[in-house]
Structure 1
Amino acid sequence: MALDAQPTQTGILTVLELLAREAPARAFEGLLGTAGHSDASRARHEELDRALRLAADVREQLGRRQQREAVLSALVDTAHDLTLPYDLDALLRVIARRARLLLNLDMAYISFHDEETGDSYVRTADGHATALTVGFRVPGGSGLGSAVRHSSAPFWSPDYLADERVSHHSVIDDVVRAEGLRAIVAVPLRHRGSALGVLYAADRTIRHFTPDEIALMASLGDLASVAIEKTRVLSRARADIADLERYTSQAKSDLVSERRANDAHTRMTDLLLAGGDLGQLLAVAAETLGGTAAALDPDGRVLSATGPLPPTLPGPEETAKAVLETHVACRPVQFAPDLWLAPVAAGTECLGCVLLHTADPLSDSGLRLLRLTAGTTGVLMLMHRNTAVAESQVREEFFEDLLTVPGRPPAQLRDRARRLGLDVERPYAVAVIRPEGGSQGRAVVWASSYALRAGGLSTVRGGCLTLLLPSDNPGATARQVSDELSPLLGHPVTVGAAGPTTGLADVEPAHAEALRCLGALTALGSTGTTAAANELGFLGLLLGDNHSVGGYIADTIGPVIDYDSHRFTNLVQTLEAYFESGSSPTHAAETLHVHPNTVSRRLERITALLGEDWQEPARALEVQLALRLHRTRDTLRPDGPAPVTGENAHADRLGAP
């Protein structure tokens, strides 16, 4: 036996050497042929056979270990890949591809559960998918996914369509049949008890999955679940960070806007304390808010503006309604896409509004600045109104003195006028206004404001408003006053006007003439209309309450009378002869016993004094009437004829005999 042991040990050593060299299986097959046929040989053969079987077991274990190491290495690589930063869709594509490659399958896909409908939908797929595309809805309660969700454990089938354990659904079966899938394995994607979805891997041949393959898919599912949850958390974190950055940026922008608004309000307050006007306040607001600003009164009229108003601004009536609505709202109102209105109020009293025209949307700080602008504007309006009330009393007293106390020293009048801001060198018109119905209070307030804006004076006399306004056209002034006041009161006004005056001493005669004009309009039944004394002519003299013949004569032919008085000429006599002869210079020369050329020269002088239109029919009638009144009055004077000059005419207006 000792002799036979040596060959046996040699065979076993050979097997060990082959194992050590990791020789292929065919290298072990020839070892059994070396044993003989004796009993000893048979014993060596059995021992060698046993050694070869053990070697085969060792090689199989080494193979499984190597395969396990390869699988673990692939799983580690997969875990490493899953730790890289992806968005969710990219991560799911990586997971599906890894699942397909790990098990060497034809296709892999991932579905997520829809909590609202109870179905699932395919979120990603890898492989040659034709029917099973992203977004495909998987009916709930059927298929491998339903079994996986209910058991929270892997589920697999070697031949899906023939497997009776599966709850089949026609929709799923049609897709599986269209894809040509046979073997399918599904593992849950769960994280801390919450179901995220299901990971599927499928082959187009019948395949029985080994426990190692199922364990590998389960491990991949666990890794994928962690990676999916991590990606979701990172996505939420990125979204939160983006929101925080957005909020921070907005907060910085709001802080800058608030600082600008506060700086602008401080500038407005400084302007207010320094006596700044409304235009300067609006300019600060317009500069800060980026647009055009304007202040409107309660009737929608523009008091001040920083630039041209937009063409989209409606008419005064609609604007006045918008001002009222803004006052009721007590906050800035968007009147149009590019127009904002902010109420200007003193308690419950509406002082108007601030209008802002800007193409940019207003932020909260912009709206706040608009409200502050309206408040500052209200303070300035109240200050101006209080000042205007005090000043209007002084102005009214001065106007009353001009109308009731004649003979004041001109130097004193000019000094008082300059203190009130009146230009004594410019012409003025006097307008007497009688509202035809309604309360007079609103008209009085309007008259004071209008006169102050126009640079004139106002007062109330005998139930009528009297205005002294800068103008060289009293008729146009009367119409302008009526056009503005009548809509405000809601009923017509009658306006008589006179002028223009050439100095403060002529204000009282012009007032008397305007009163006569108003009386003439009343006598003619023309209430609610306007006219100037020079537009009525002799009708004003005939129909007025105060018949000032001297004033009419002076207004019509006064320059001719004054010329005769100072130059000792006979222009008045020439005018009478000219009209009596039928406007014939030749016949007038015969009546006057002068040469026709003399009459022609006198007529040229008369034209220079009375104007080019004195021979027009209407004007000629006025001249003839004035000549007749002049001749008749001189005839009736107890002390005989006396020339009526401009000075005499003014005396006549004041009531001189």
Structure 2
Amino acid sequence: MPGEISTGDDELLTILRLLAEGATAGQLEALLQRVRREGRHGPEQLARIESVVQLAREVSLATARSHQREAGLVALIDTARDLSAPVDLDGLLPLIARWGRRLLHFDMTYITLPDDEGMYVRCSEGSTTALNTGLRIVGGRGLGAQAMRCRAPLWTADYSEDGSIAHSDTIDGVVEKEGLRALMAVPLLQNGEAVGVLYGADRRVRHYTPDEIGLICSLADIAAEAIGRVEQLQRAREQLAELKSDGARVRTRLARLGQISATYRRIMDLLIDGTDLGVLVDTAAAALDSTLQIRDMAGHVMAAGGEIADVDEDALNEAALEAYTCGGPVRAGDRAWVTPVTAGKEGLGALVLCPAAELLGEDVWLLRTVAQVFALQLVMERSAAVAKGPVRDELLEELLSLPTGAPVPRQIIQRATRLGIDLDKPHVLLVVRPEGGEPKRAGGWASSYVFRVNGLKMIDNGRLVLIVPGTDASATARAVADELSPLLGNPVSVGAAGPQTSAAEAGRMYREAVRCLDALTALDGVGGVASAQDLGFLGLLLSDDHDVDGFIESVLGPVLDYDTDRTTELIATLEQYFAAGSSPTNAAERLHVHPNTVARRIERITELLGTRWNEPERALEVQLALRLRRARQVLYARRNS
């Protein structure tokens, strides 16, 4: 058995046999002590044996160190194999800390990584408190910060007592809580740059050997390479994800471009087929998944694909100005886009778009293209209007030359029908006088306008004469003035007449509209609009038919109806009120009633006619209507007497 010594053996051979059998230093020492006790050898022989034992001890220690290094290298190979498996830092760093603790039998290991604020503890192994992981180390202090700066391992047998280290209160607090004494910090180097620090710590004073330091440095090198590999893999995954995302975006854009191309072809086909503006707007709105309007230069809606609600008109106007300046789509608030519609340098209008979702680059391109298509449509319409302008001028001249009430010749009706005009529907007549600007520009606008609304026009002594569909002469006149004035850069004055449903009334309406325009001029109303209804009793005088009943009804209708329904005497009270100089007391004496009764009747009249009925201008119309009504009653009574 190893360690047993036969008295017949030579001591030197026994030492060699023990060494060959892997005897420990203790067994060799035991042999030496035994030889000394036996006293069988002289001094020289004993010294020789002692020298051999010492050499055997050194050989045994060298063999042990070799075995330890061999075991460390084997463990390092196993470590390298394990570290090749994780695919992210969350899996790799705890494995590095675990192998570091196992290789050098540390009580605790942890890893710190740098960030913008300093260093922080990413993971730990063997800790007994919750103070370690996530701990932030700032100020460049502590053993790890020094190791990173010098790019070499540093260690201390007793951290708390080592004054050569730049201590940190944060680190010292953890060291105290964990009961640590010995501490080693090894930088993780990639291409000479430190990307982190691996720490090993013991809860006892420990002097680390060169072999141990070399082993942990080898682990740090393998760990740094593994971290670099994982980071590269992470970057590759991110790049792959970005490429996939880019590919998806490209496929989406290609699909969208295909849709846009198909939409563009469809819009162009509709344009070539002569489709009207409304269909083009509906098609473009559907393609852009949006609500779309085309507006003229004055901001009036010419055609719409859906209703745009809750849009700030001021923001739209500002965006339109900016769009004309930059020549492209401009945001208007949070919901709308505005795109100029231009032909060369001439502004024709603007597109207002409210998309259901955020516009992509392709959508903005389509919006620009649609604006160009609409510009082409408007130019074509204007060209067609100009081409048909003489025909419309001649037709209107013939209508105005007809005697009032005379039958309209069938040829005129047929020509109007061929132009798409139905004169049996309600229409109004406008006489428009530009107060400045270019006459040709006004004539071009008039040709385009009547073509768009299915009307007729002519030019008479620098004034535009228009017959257009409508039921409210005043509203139509205001709309025309609002559209034409910005185009000319000057106001326009408009006299209006109608509505009528007979072409035979065109001459009468023309004369009435001219008188209203003359009245505007005489009353210093240049730049305004007016119809006979707008001019009150002046309109009664200017009108050909002198519609007295209509005037009385428009002024006194609510009071007359109230008297008829309730058998009251509000009209009589009004007559006596004005006859008494607008004095309720004197009116009460004339009516033989109490003044309070008159006061209550006046309150009722105010409710029916409005609070301004007694103001001078309105009171004049009320008195005129009362006098006309009284005169009509007297004449009617005499005629039937």
TM-score (norm 2): 0.72
Moved more, 8-17 or 85-94: 8-17
Stretches of structure 1 that go unaligned for 5 or more consecutive residues are 545-550, 558-614, 629-657
Question: Which of 372, 384, 387 is matched with 1:387 structurally?
Answer: 384
Question: Which of 312, 322, 325 is matched with 1:314 structurally?
Answer: 312
Distance in 2, Cα, partners of 1:203 & 1:619: 118
- 1:564-643 alignment, distance < 5 Å: 618=628, 621=631
Q: Which residue of 1 aligns with 2:124?
A: 125
Q: Which residue of 2 aligns with 1:99?
A: 100
Q: Cα deviation per residue 1:472-501 (whole Å; 9 max; x = unaligned)?
A: x5xx31343135415853657352425625
Shift of 1:240: 2.0
Shift of 1:271: 1.8
Decide whether the 8 Å contact of 1:35 with 1:44 is kept in 2.
Answer: no
Query: Residue type matched to 1:259 in 2?
Result: G
Distance in 2, Cα, partners of 1:280 & 1:542: 46
- 1:352-501 alignment, distance < 5 Å: 352-404=349-401, 410-434=409-433, 437-439=435-437, 441=439, 444=443, 447-471=446-470, 476-482=472-478, 484-485=480-481, 489=485, 491=491, 493-498=493-498, 500=500
Shift of 1:218: 1.4
Shift of 1:183: 1.2
Q: Which residue of 1 aligns with 2:188?
A: 189
Moved more, 330-339 or 519-528: 519-528
Q: Which residue of 1 aligns with 2:600?
A: none
Pair 48,534 (structure 1): closer, same or farther in 2 beyond 3 Å: closer
Pair 264,89 (structure 1): closer, same or farther in 2 beyond 3 Å: same
Shift of 1:449: 4.3
Q: Cα deviation per residue 1:285-333 (whole Å; 9 max; x = unaligned)?
A: 2222211122111111111111122x22234x66444323211121111
- 1:36-47 alignment, distance < 5 Å: none
Query: Residue type matched to 1:383 in 2?
Result: M
Q: Cα deviation per residue 1:232-269 (whole Å; 9 max; x = unaligned)?
A: 22222222222222222222222222222222222222
Query: Residue type matched to 1:380 in 2?
Result: Q
Shift of 1:73: 2.5
- 1:129-140 alignment, distance < 5 Å: 129=129, 131-140=131-140
- 1:72-471 alignment, distance < 5 Å: 72-112=73-113, 120-126=119-125, 127-129=127-129, 131-140=131-140, 143-145=142-144, 147-149=146-148, 151-168=150-167, 172-173=171-172, 175-309=174-308, 311-315=309-313, 319-404=316-401, 410-434=409-433, 437-439=435-437, 441=439, 444=443, 447-471=446-470
Shift of 1:524: 7.3
Q: Which secondary structure state, in structure 2, belongs to the residue aligned with residue 357 of structure 1?
A: strand
Decide whether the 8 Å contact of 1:282 with 1:294 is kept in 2.
Answer: yes
Shift of 1:68: 3.1
Distance in 1, Cα, partners of 2:535 & 2:349: 38
Pair 616,415 (structure 1): closer, same or farther in 2 beyond 3 Å: farther
Q: Which secondary structure state, in structure 1, belongs to the residue aligned with residue 497 of structure 2?
A: strand
Q: Cα deviation per residue 1:517-543 (whole Å; 9 max; x = unaligned)?
A: 555666677774523389978x67866
Q: Which secondary structure state, in structure 1, belongs to the residue aligned with residue 111 of structure 2?
A: strand
Query: Residue type matched to 1:314 in 2?
Result: D
Distance in 1, Cα, partners of 2:36 & 2:426: 150
Shift of 1:63: 4.2
What is the Cα-based RMSD across aligned positions, in Å? 4.5
Moved more, 66-75 or 373-382: 66-75
Pair 104,484 (structure 1): closer, same or farther in 2 beyond 3 Å: same
Shift of 1:282: 2.4
TM-score (norm 1): 0.71
Distance in 2, Cα, partners of 1:224 & 1:150: 19
Distance in 1, Cα, partners of 2:78 & 2:226: 14
Decide whether the 8 Å contact of 1:341 with 1:354 is kept in 2.
Answer: yes
Distance in 2, Cα, partners of 1:427 & 1:165: 105
Distance in 2, Cα, partners of 1:506 & 1:145: 103
Pair 397,225 (structure 1): closer, same or farther in 2 beyond 3 Å: same
Number of aligned pairs?
550
Q: Which secondary structure state, in structure 2, belongs to the residue aligned with residue 8 of structure 1?
A: coil
Q: Cα deviation per residue 1:564-585 (whole Å; 9 max; x = unaligned)?
A: xxxxxxxxxxxxxxxxxxxxxx
Pair 54,150 (structure 1): closer, same or farther in 2 beyond 3 Å: same
Stretches of structure 2 that go unaligned for 5 or more consecutive residues are 1-5, 550-624
Shift of 1:370: 0.7
Q: Cα deviation per residue 1:389-442 (whole Å; 9 max; x = unaligned)?
A: 11223111210122236689812212211111122443544343456x444746
Pair 617,212 (structure 1): closer, same or farther in 2 beyond 3 Å: same
Shift of 1:136: 2.1
Q: Cα deviation per residue 1:48-99 (whole Å; 9 max; x = unaligned)?
A: 9999888777765554444333322222221112111232243222222221
Query: Residue type matched to 2:68 in 1?
Result: Q
Moved more, 512-521 or 451-460: 512-521
Q: Which secondary structure state, in structure 1, belongs to the residue aligned with residue 306 of structure 2?
A: coil
Shift of 1:336: 2.3
Distance in 2, Cα, partners of 1:622 & 1:390: 53
Q: Which secondary structure state, in structure 2, belongs to the residue aligned with residue 482 of structure 1?
A: helix
Tell me which structure has the larger Cα radius of gyration.
1
Distance in 1, Cα, partners of 2:506 & 2:633: 25
Decide whether the 8 Å contact of 1:517 with 1:533 is kept in 2.
Answer: no
Distance in 1, Cα, partners of 2:33 & 2:523: 153
